[in-house]
Chains A and B, each alone.
Chain A
Amino acid sequence: GAGVSQSPSNKVTEKGKDVELRCDPISGHTALYWYRQSLGQGLEFLIYFQGNSAPDKSGLPSDRFSAERTGGSVSTLTIQRTQQEDSAVYLCASSLEALPSGELFFGEGSRLTVL
């Protein structure tokens, strides 16, 4: 596809379960970002990838959160032992290069609900 693809679009899980969220960036985009969007909170930076490495993981809220990127393409965000406060929309974005003024292209997000 031409845009950033995320799956699943919706995920309902029980507290304590693990979840995996997937992101397929635009082909050729070397930079990939994960943001979290909570109601009324704007977008919160989680992690940034340049290629397969993550120079900045500073936004990950706790050690229950991890992410990886393989082949310079697909990325997976994993949340272990989910808590209710993890409920949010998780947005993935990619850009051609990791430039400070580079345009971010966002996917439609994965809405996570933790019961």
Chain B
Amino acid sequence: QQQVKQSPQSLIVQKGGISIINCAYENTAFDYFPWYQQFPGKGPALLIAIRPDVSEKKEGRFTISFNKSAKQFSLHIMDSQPGDSATYFCAASRPNDYKLSFGAGTTVTVRA
């Protein structure tokens, strides 16, 4: 079964708007939470990552918010641009575990 549940499956946002993608997990042993961005026909690429010792991490227009007690984390894309249109995957891994458990992905479409 999927260890990381991601929602929504897809979303459409206007240029300049905020895109929000949510992920939830059950395994409290997870301690590393990356987000990967995938453009059509390309492989996923690391976008931003967070560990549970911080509640928020920001890189440019991308912010991860982390709620350890709720076992949830989310990606916010501020001032969304057409070039942000892609599929976004959240993921998680445990200490000393080299494999990532991925969410099902969210396809984001930014309308100009």
Chain A residues proximal to chain B, CB less than 8 Å: 4, 31, 33, 35, 40-45, 48, 56, 59, 91, 93, 98-109
Contact = CB atoms under 8 A, between A and B. Distances in A.
Contact of A93 (B6, B41, B43, B101): B43
Given A42-B89, A43-B89, A104 B46 contact: yes
Given A93-B43, A100-B93, A107-B43, A42 B105 contact: yes
Interface residues on B, range: 20 to 34
Most buried by B among A31, A35, A101, A107: A101
Contacts of A31: 98
A41 B91 CA distance: 13
A5 B64 CA distance: 30
Contacts of A99: 98
Contacts of A59: 99
